[in-house]
Structure 1
Amino acid sequence: MPKTPQGGTGEQPGQPDGNEKHSRSDDSAGARARDAISGRAVVERKKKYLVAPRSSPAGAGFMAPLALAALGPLARSMATAAMEPAPSLSSVQQALQGLGDIDIVDTVGAPSGATSSGIGLASLGGAGNGAVAEGVLVARMTDRKAGELLQRGQGRLLVERDQHLQLLDPMLQRPDLVSSLTPYSGPTAEVAITVLGKDGAPLAEAEVSLFGGVLPSTGTSGPDGTVRLLLYGDDPHMISGLYVKPRADYWSFYQRDPEISLAEPNVVMLRALADWPALQNLPRQSTLGWGARAMRLDLVPPQYGGMGIKIAVIDSGAATAHGNLKHIRAGFDVINKATDRTTWNTDTLGHGSHCAGVIAAGDPTWGIRGFAPDAEIHVCKLFPGGQISQLIDALEYCIENQIDVVNLSLGGGAPSEALERQIVRAKGAGVACIAASGNSSGPVQYPAASPHVLAVAAIGKIDEFPYDSYHTETVGSDIDAQGYFTARFSCFGPQIDVCAPGVGIVSSVPPNNFAAWDGTSMAAPHVTGLAALVLAHRADFQMLRARSAERVERLFQIMRLSARPLTLSDPSRIGYGMPDALVALGLSPAAGQQVGNWQIPTPSYGMIPGMLPGAMIDGGQHSQAYAAQQAAGTAGFPFGMPMGGMRPSGW
């Protein structure tokens, strides 16, 4: 018997054993079976990523040759690599094309070398963690390929997922968890809800939701105003809430623990917006919303309209067929730029139209009056479907068109280095970004969390909406003596700069209607509109015309220091408080004093003398308190606190 190799089975070397034969047979059979099936194997989908060169670490280029020689071989090679200039965008693009399986779909941000508005790297003052002005590549690749690219870049490439952005919309917050799957069997019942409006007319397209029971149930009312909802379980006492959200022109309705009948339709009568005392005759004559009145816009001289200032609303578009928005004539459809850039004036969501109305509703005889009706409004359409890359593109439009103030009622899941670099570029070009803090009742969302934007939280006021509307569900526990409260949905944290009205805000929605919505999305436009008035009419900016980061920071400083604390909450929820239009514009006088031909009544509150230079009318003389602050180098800061004292140094 021939001797076999140690550990062998008696078969010749290289000859498969029985198990290997069986395995190969299975493989062949599997291959034949796969060949017989038509279709495509499931693999990882390519996602959009942002890729851009990073500059050398700070100070790396100043390392002396002698110090470099003293390093070990590995450290010396790393330091030498760090001293090399950042790769160009074109070289990065060539490298990506050479790797294969990466599809470059767009380039966003600045053109090579400088922006088209003539603002180059030098104007940024080195801010922004090595921001370059060459732009950002948008490429499709798998997560695995992105990880490989990041590793190859060795810290010299920015590689990040192109996140989807969300409108900070005023939609009802759904329950966080569903307790079970839809039952396969068991008792069910149909609940009929009929929604009626003024004079008992049926209201179609109203969203109706029942909460409680096994599962929530939602539907939309038909032409007869009725919606039939399926209730799992036959006990209507399990229902904990009934919510009705009309499309427009009516207040919402909310009833806790409603008495629901299964035998006959349950009728909900909605209140018309125009029946509310503060909105009488809407829209037949121009009306100021409660938020504008709270910020004392009603006491600002009527000639203060924001003339000469450009405002960008980066949102879902704006319906220029609306009577309050027909003066808007400029825009850019970012999401459809490859096919038609001009469709920015179609707003299928209504969100951008609502924000634009708060900022600049323009008809002096009809509808809602905005803060800055004479400003030049630019609309950048980013929704539905907007991503970080498209927001970078929209901000590039703002830089190129020398926009003064940008309203950002949107947010993302996580901070973005690529977007932060563009925000810094925009700030260096004199573009002031004002952002909603978010509606998740949690930490401030990005980009509001960036130290280079003004973050706005939302507050409400008792008696500015019906007791049976859903707005009552937003009331926090910190109501002050004037009825102001922090909205329960509003995000909070040390990044909050100011707060503004964001509950029961009435503004324009398509096609030519009005709606009362909640959200920090509604609060931010109040501040954006006032910021435009400050840039147009405050004396500081008649001299400070040069577009720069300093101009933006001065604007932010004025907005913060013109604010007064409201609610019983702490600064993490309201920041410096709600900006006051008269103080921000430098019009807040002593009791009964006349400004030009405009008589200002005695304010019921005021600021500490000297807190805001130029805000108080005192014959041009600053107070002794301000003089002391000026000598100490802290002039213009409340209680001597330096700028950024309420903000972290980074995001």
Structure 2
Amino acid sequence: MAKNPESPNPSLSESPGPSSSSARSNGAPASAADPRSARSAAAPGGGQALSPGASSKHTLSARKGQFLISPRRVPGMQAMGLQPLALNVIEDTLRSSPDIEVIDTVGPKNIIGVLADGMSESPGVLVARMTDQKATVLHQQAQGRLIVERDHPLTLGDSMPLQPMMVSWSAPTSGQSLDISVTVLGRDDAPVADAAVYLFGSMIPATGTTDARGQVNLSLFGETPQTIRGLYVKPKTDYWSFYQTDPDIRTDEPNVVGLRPLADWPALANFPQNQVYGWGQKAMRLDQLPNQYRGQGVRIAIIDSGAATSHEDLKKIRFGFDVINKKTNPDGWSDDTVSHGSHCAGIICGSDNAFGVRGFAPDAEVHACKLFPGGQFSQLIDALEYCIEKQIDVVNLSLGGAAPSEALEQQILRAKRAGIACIVAAGNSSGEVQYPASSPNVLAVAAIGRLGEFPQDSYHAQTLTQMVDANGFFSPKFTCFGPQIAVCAPGVAITSSVPGNNFAAWDGTSMATPHVTGLAALTLAHHPDFQNAFKARGPERVDRLFQIIKASSHPINLGDPSRTGFGLPDVLIAVGLQAPMGMPSGLIQRAFSGAAQPQMMSAQPGQSMMGMQTMSAGFAGPYGGFLPPYLGNLQQGLPYGYGFGRPGW
């Protein structure tokens, strides 16, 4: 039976606590009610002695870490007579250890999963809780044949509020608070409830949510009305956001903010009763695609926060898997408490029903895999296993992690070998491309915006940079960038579906990625190549899809290719109705060579696949640039594609 990690058995600790000897100084066991034992007990870590009665209190400390453990499958091992360790043997060994708790096993559940990538051995990943010290020992004992790494949390790829310049996170230690009341009103001066309100001063910002009266009270310490730098209001649904730099704040009366309804914007006239194409979909020419091109026969998975099938635009989604609650409620995927997955789904497959926003592939078979809130790498591996077994064609991943994962990379590779194309958001940290978008086995998508597609007093205007091309396309402040970027797509002021039956305009590479996923589904369904030479599932099919998407793209000239890759994909070109136009022949050749983006062909032999070390227990795996000692000599002779930026392994 699994042990409770919050209450570990004291007999399994690494060494007796400092209270052991003092509690038994008279040869008798200490009593919790004995004040002498409480006073003499040293605090954890050698701190001050606890006061009487403190033995009944919980002293905060780190819980056991959660780790991914899997047999390493490095090309060349079998040639050296080193077979991957069997997962069942590893599991039996771990379960026999009293200080390791195996909490889950992720692996194939049927013959499709077992045979997905053509490997003779059954793959799989164990999820276990243990101390960092135990994980280090476990890795050392395996002598490089075992992946042992942290099970990192995942984050969604929507943008967070950008703070004004010179905001400090210093906290004043004294002084009066600045108390401010904000009232948010909508159409016909009706109060807007559940709107998030952010107030930025010179130090720690304040945030709150409006009540049924549309009112929220905020307090900041060490501020005056003159030091307030910005006021940001993010409505939950149906209105444009609002941002005011250097707001004229009053403390003696409520500060009223009037929001604009989405439907008041010219491009959304009579919305949602009048169905529209989003500006991003029109920029990719979806509105010019013949109506019979609807993604029929293609299976799409959206690994996110679920999909609210109660929404008029999402009712056709009939399949899914709640990975977070798989043991208690695996069918809970239609309960989207975050709204993020529903927003992505509306862009990809919003119904063609004379209501709301029409998606790219309304007739595709869509599966919603619920991973948020609380998703981790292990659960993403599990969701990809679902995709392998359901023979999904294209996966939307509007998410990212803090570090690369060798175990997850093995699963992404398995998915690719099974013919699954992963389209991944680059991230919104304004820095380097995050993982798994940085993997060479996926298609990484950056975000772009366009002038004139949002009100100037909305928060969307705060994402503007100086990088604007002749057509008004710009690279927003939040998007990640780097040589791994394959293409860019609209990701600023994107209107799509959210629960219950509402709509919201959001920013992020999360919003850009579904544009490319929808286009990928149309390409697989309708491009002649996938009815003939590349009809069979496999890695060649995935590579060909990525090549076509890149070759269909119109370059976005912002002076920095690392922000836009090959450019903005075009639906008509991607499905084969028009030939590629406007791209220099050299870029077309590179697109069909499998290069990630124009500036990056491939790494030198032995270069790190993802350019950074795997965050793990005491080691960095081969995907982070380091190989076990006995495999070091193979580095120069790894099969084509093992290096960074190449099309496959």
Q: What's 1:483 paired with?
A: 472
Q: What's 1:555 paired with?
A: 545
Look up the equivalent residue of 2:576 and give its one-letter code. Answer: G
How far off its partner does 1:278 sit? 0.3
Q: What's 1:224 paired with?
A: 213
Q: What's 1:539 paired with?
A: 528
Answer whether contact 1:44 1:142 (CA < 8 A) is retained: no
Q: Which moved more, 1:211-220 or 1:531-540?
A: 211-220
How far off its partner does 1:567 sit? 4.1
Look up the equivalent residue of 1:345 and give its one-letter code. Answer: S
Look up the equivalent residue of 2:102 and give its one-letter code. Answer: I
What CA deviation, in whole Å up to 9, does each residue of 1:269-299 have, x standing for no partner? Answer: 1110000000011110211000000001111
TM-score of the pair, normalised by structure 1: 0.82
- RMSD value, Cα: 2.5
Gaps of 5+ in 1: 1-22, 63-81, 124-131, 590-604, 613-635
- Mark the CA change 1:372 to 1:58 in structure 2 (over 3 Å): closer, same or farther: closer
What CA deviation, in whole Å up to 9, does each residue of 1:39-65 have, x standing for no partner? Answer: 67766522221111224x654655xxx
How far off its partner does 1:609 sit? 8.6
Matched, 1:136 2:154: no
Q: What's 2:113 paired with?
A: 116
What CA deviation, in whole Å up to 9, does each residue of 1:332-376 have, x standing for no partner? Answer: 000100011100000000000000000000143101010000101
Answer whether contact 1:54 1:86 (CA < 8 A) is retained: yes
| Number of equivalenced pairs | 562
Q: Which moved more, 1:93-102 or 1:529-538?
A: 93-102
How far off its partner does 1:193 sit? 1.3
Matched, 1:584 2:574: yes
Look up the equivalent residue of 2:323 and give its one-letter code. Answer: V
- Mark the CA change 1:401 to 1:193 in structure 2 (over 3 Å): closer, same or farther: same
Describe how 1:44-193 pairs up with structure 2 within 5 A: 44-55=62-73, 58-59=75-76, 62=79, 83-110=81-108, 115-116=112-113, 118-122=115-119, 133-173=122-162, 179=168, 182-193=171-182
- Mark the CA change 1:264 to 1:140 in structure 2 (over 3 Å): closer, same or farther: same
The SS at the match of 1:452 is: coil
How far apart are the structure 2 equivalents of 1:257 and 1:118? 61
How far apart are the structure 2 equivalents of 1:300 and 1:173? 37
Answer whether contact 1:111 1:134 (CA < 8 A) is retained: no
How far off its partner does 1:229 sit? 1.4
Look up the equivalent residue of 1:49 and give its one-letter code. Answer: F
Answer whether contact 1:115 1:133 (CA < 8 A) is retained: no
Q: What's 2:37 paired with?
A: 33
What CA deviation, in whole Å up to 9, does each residue of 1:241-261 have, x standing for no partner? Answer: 010110100000001111112
The SS at the match of 2:384 is: helix
How far apart are the structure 2 equivalents of 1:381 and 1:301? 33
Describe how 1:417-436 pairs up with structure 2 within 5 A: 417-436=406-425
Q: What's 2:186 paired with?
A: 197
How far apart are the structure 1 equivalents of 2:135 and 2:23? 35
Q: What's 2:581 paired with?
A: 606
Among residues 228, 242, 249, which one is paired with 1:260 in the alignment?
249
How far apart are the structure 1 equivalents of 2:584 and 2:361? 28
The SS at the match of 2:127 is: strand
Answer whether contact 2:423 2:513 (CA < 8 A) is retained: yes
Q: Higher Cα Rg: structure 1 or 2?
A: 1
- Mark the CA change 1:478 to 1:179 in structure 2 (over 3 Å): closer, same or farther: closer
The SS at the match of 2:348 is: helix
How far apart are the structure 2 equivalents of 1:509 and 1:330? 18
How far apart are the structure 2 equivalents of 1:212 and 1:243? 12
Answer whether contact 1:451 1:647 (CA < 8 A) is retained: no
Matched, 1:269 2:258: yes
- Mark the CA change 1:297 to 1:362 in structure 2 (over 3 Å): closer, same or farther: same
- Mark the CA change 1:175 to 1:166 in structure 2 (over 3 Å): closer, same or farther: farther
Describe how 1:371-410 pairs up with structure 2 within 5 A: 371-410=360-399
Answer whether contact 1:188 1:233 (CA < 8 A) is retained: yes
- Mark the CA change 1:648 to 1:317 in structure 2 (over 3 Å): closer, same or farther: farther
How far off its partner does 1:141 sit? 1.0
Answer whether contact 2:159 2:478 (CA < 8 A) is retained: no
Q: Which moved more, 1:263-272 or 1:42-51?
A: 42-51
- Mark the CA change 1:39 to 1:497 in structure 2 (over 3 Å): closer, same or farther: same
- Mark the CA change 1:115 to 1:648 in structure 2 (over 3 Å): closer, same or farther: farther
TM-score of the pair, normalised by structure 2: 0.82
Describe how 1:517-532 pairs up with structure 2 within 5 A: 517-532=506-521
- Mark the CA change 1:576 to 1:98 in structure 2 (over 3 Å): closer, same or farther: same
How far apart are the structure 2 equivalents of 1:87 and 1:480? 53
The SS at the match of 1:191 is: strand
Answer whether contact 1:213 1:232 (CA < 8 A) is retained: no
How far apart are the structure 2 equivalents of 1:83 and 1:208? 62
How far apart are the structure 1 equivalents of 2:419 and 2:490? 26
Look up the equivalent residue of 1:91 and give its one-letter code. Answer: V
The alignment-based identity, stated in percent, is 57
What CA deviation, in whole Å up to 9, does each residue of 1:414-461 have, x standing for no partner? Answer: 000000000000000010000000000000000000000000000000
What CA deviation, in whole Å up to 9, does each residue of 1:576-622 have, x standing for no partner? Answer: 00001111111126xxxxxxxxxxxxxxx93359789xxxxxxxxxx
How far apart are the structure 2 equivalents of 1:301 and 1:267? 47
Q: Which moved more, 1:358-367 or 1:23-32?
A: 23-32
Matched, 1:494 2:483: yes
Answer whether contact 1:306 1:375 (CA < 8 A) is retained: yes
Look up the equivalent residue of 1:116 and give its one-letter code. Answer: G
Describe how 1:14-33 pairs up with structure 2 within 5 A: 28=25, 33=37
How far off its partner does 1:191 sit? 1.4
Answer whether contact 1:192 1:228 (CA < 8 A) is retained: yes
Q: Which moved more, 1:516-525 or 1:101-110?
A: 101-110
Q: What's 2:269 paired with?
A: 280
Look up the equivalent residue of 2:118 and give its one-letter code. Answer: L
Look up the equivalent residue of 1:324 and give its one-letter code. Answer: D
Q: What's 1:564 paired with?
A: 554
Look up the equivalent residue of 1:33 and give its one-letter code. Answer: S
Q: What's 2:225 paired with?
A: 236
How far off its partner does 1:570 sit? 1.8
Q: What's 1:368 paired with?
A: 357
How far off its partner does 1:173 sit? 3.8
How far off its partner does 1:330 sit? 0.3
Look up the equivalent residue of 1:224 and give its one-letter code. Answer: R
Answer whether contact 2:164 2:230 (CA < 8 A) is retained: no
How far apart are the structure 1 equivalents of 2:165 and 2:397? 26
Look up the equivalent residue of 2:581 and give its one-letter code. Answer: G
